[in-house]
Amino acid sequence: MTQLAHYRRRHAQYKTDPDLQALHAAAPFIVTWDDHESANDAWKGGAENHTEGAEGAWSERVAAAQKAYAEWMPVRYEPGGQLYRRLEFGSLASLSMLDLRSYRDQQAANGADPSVSSPPALSPAPHRWTGCWATSSPRARNGSLWAIPS
């Protein structure tokens, strides 16, 4: 699965499931991008199961996956845009939808090796975005916001 038609076909197939159709009819969805929308263990420059050249350019594959996602999923998103976002529910709650993989560096080949340092969960851009929100949110000003470690 590397082309737009492939990703569209997968989303179309998912939407034929009667149980999923019933669930969509019964409840609203808040969805977020997962690295598996494009390929397994994706990162900003590739994926565990993507072979540059043989399967085309990684950037083209991601663009195709993002376009199909934007077409089929209940989300306001422009392909190539910012995948992380915030939903505000008045003074009740703020929900941050984070994408912890698309902006990260490639993970270590052996994730179990303690001598290999892990990249941070949030890369710089989403981390800054989260930090700015944490200080400007109405909930932050009234002291009811969870702390975000640096």
In the predicted structure, residue 27 carries a pLDDT above the cut 60: yes
Cα within 13 Å of Cα(36), Cβ side = 2
Residue 150 lies in a domain: no
Q: How many domains are contained in the chain?
A: 1
Residue 27 lies in a domain: yes
Residue 35 lies in a domain: yes
Strand ranges, E, within the chain: 42-43, 46-47, 85-89, 93-97
pLDDT digits (tens, 9 = 90+) for 72-129: 988 887 777 777 788 888 877 778 887 777 777 777 665 555 555 555 555 566 666 6
Residue 32 lies in a domain: yes
Note the pLDDT of residue 147: 47
Residue 103 lies in a domain: yes
Structural domain span for residue 62: 4-141
Residue 43 lies in a domain: yes
Residue 147 lies in a domain: no
User: What is the rounded distance in angstroms from the CA atom of residue 120 to the CA atom of residue 149?
Assistant: 11
What is the pLDDT confidence band of residue 50, given thresholds at 50, 70 and 90? Answer: very high
Residue 146 lies in a domain: no
User: What is the rounded distance in angstroms from the CA atom of residue 48 to the CA atom of residue 111?
Assistant: 13
Other Cβ atoms within 10 Å of 72 Cβ, number: 15
